Amino acid sequence: MSRSPYLRKVNEAVHHVVAMEVERLKDPGLGFVTITGVEASPDLRSARVYYSVLGDEAQHRETQAALERAAPRIRAVVGRQVRLKFLPELHFEPDAAIERGLRMEEILRRLREERDEGVDTPGDPPGS
């Protein structure tokens, strides 16, 4: 993650601009996407832009392609709105944290269901 307060501020500024610009995109392949974070390299030459998208695998692929098509335009907007020594190359990556969280939630739900199924209800004879 961010190593310095300056890099953290850069990440926040780029995140804000990218999120606003993605909202303005009119690409039909773009799904319901949320920009979840930005992580610029220490030399500010590149930045990973993390996103999440609702939908099936096909929607994920279409959104990835739409973001890649729009990357030069979004990068130009970042260059106009955020003053940096170098304009980072933007690399869009799906945010794995969202899917990991959903997977953990599913595991916890199953464990609760298994626990609840194993509990005898009051008034039932043991073992029924």
pLDDT digit string, tens, across residues 18-76: 999 999 999 888 888 999 999 999 999 999 999 998 888 899 999 999 999 999 999 99
Give the per-residue pLDDT at 127.
53
How many Å is the Cα radius of gyration of the chain?
21
Q: How many CB atoms lie within 10 A of CB 74?
A: 22
Q: How many CB atoms lie within 10 A of CB 83?
A: 7
pTM of the model: 0.75
Answer yes or no: are the C-beta atoms of 96 and 51 closer than 8 Å.
no
